[in-house]
Amino acid sequence: MMRTLRELWAFFWRDLSIARTYRTVFVLEAIEALFGVAMFYYVARFVDSPQLQHALPQGGSYFAFSLIGFVFLDYLNAAMDTFDRSIEEARDAGTLEHLLVTQTSLPVILAGSAAYPFAMTTVRIAVYIAWGAVLFGFPLREANWIAVLAVLLATLLAFSGLGILSASYLLLFKRGNPAKWFLLGVSGVAGGMLFPISVLPDWLQLVARLNPVTYALDAMRAALLGGEGFATVWRPLAVLLAFAAVLLPLSMLVFAWALRRTKTTGTMMHR
């Protein structure tokens, strides 16, 4: 266990050390977040009305509703990108083979490669929400932070499975990420990001109920805006964990198979 943690820390430290050599990126991303939040605030001011607020699940402002949807899109994007980008970068830099001849197991290499990007995405989300709270009145007083953390963790686990499946595709076919485009596309329409899924036709609501993003957003809005605890969020949380319980082992099996296939065909380092 300690050894695994040390290995994960080594990956995190590697990525942090590399990121530290590009210092201005942190500042630029914080500024970008400010503009993003401001844009959502003014769009919300334009469309907000008592009827709209009444239609939203937590009855709050459209600004708070849509900002959570937007930052979660970032999380989903990171989950779908992180694993295959780390494989792609390792392949291009020639480090992939050197990672695979170490004594560290494949699941740890994958988890380690995702540790820093996930941490940074979480920080980025926090920056977005902090800008929203400080400058535009995003309501944080009600938030149940323990439930928020639990939802973040469950979301991370559920989305990671999808990211690893996407990395398996990259290993085999070298380019493209169809799962990402499909899921982001579906989630944009049927995920409850920018509008509640209750406005969708019945069949699209059914699609939304098969999408982990819907549950992540329901739970996050309930915990962050409604201040709900586990008594309320346990249901979407359980669904997210069920997604993770199915997707994570399945994705690891698929990835191991894809890696084995590239070892058979000799295409691991092909671009």
Partner 1 sequence: MCSLARHAISFGVPPNAISVEGLEKLFPPARSGWRAFLQPFEKPTVPALAGISFEVRPGEALALLGANGAGKSTLLRILATLLLPTRGRAHVAGYDAVRNARAVRRQLGYHAGSDLGFYARLTGRENLRFFGRLNHLSTSVIAQRISQLAEQFNLGEVLDRQVRTLSSGTVQRLSLARALLHQPRVLLLDEPTRSLDAIAAAEFRRFLKSEVLRRGDTSLLFASHTLSEVEWLADRIAVINAGQLLACDTANALKQKAGTPSLEEVFLCLTGRATHATAEESAE
Residues that bind partner 1 (CB under 8 A): 3, 6-7, 10, 13-14, 17-18, 21, 93-95, 97-105, 172-173, 260-268
Minimal distance, residue 118 CB to partner 1, in Å: 19
Based on CB atoms, which residue is closest to partner 1, 98 or 235?
Answer: 98
Using alpha carbons only, give the angle 203, 215, 254 rounded to the nearest 5 degrees.
90
Q: Count the residues in the chain.
A: 271
Minimal distance, residue 262 CB to partner 1, in Å: 7
Based on CB atoms, which residue is closest to partner 1, 19 or 55?
Answer: 19
Based on CB atoms, which residue is closest to partner 1, 190 or 258?
Answer: 258
Phi-psi region of 94 (alpha: psi -120 to 50; beta: other; left: phi over 0): left
Minimal distance, residue 1 CB to partner 1, in Å: 13
Minimal distance, residue 205 CB to partner 1, in Å: 35
The continuous run of DSSP H or E covering 49 comes out as none
Minimal distance, residue 175 CB to partner 1, in Å: 10
Based on CB atoms, which residue is closest to partner 1, 3 or 235?
Answer: 3
Would you say 151 and 216 are in contact if contact means Cβ atoms under 8 Å apart?
yes
Minimal distance, residue 102 CB to partner 1, in Å: 4
List Cβ<8 Å contacts ≥24 apart for 107-113. 107/252, 108/4, 108/7, 108/8, 109/11, 110/83, 110/164, 110/167, 110/252, 110/255, 111/8, 111/11, 112/7, 112/8, 112/10, 112/11, 112/12, 113/11, 113/15, 113/82, 113/83, 113/86, 113/87
Based on CB atoms, which residue is closest to partner 1, 199 or 256?
Answer: 256
Based on CB atoms, which residue is closest to partner 1, 71 or 96?
Answer: 96
Which residues neighbour 177 within 8 Å (Cβ) at sequence distance 6 or greater?
Answer: 80, 81, 84, 166, 169, 170
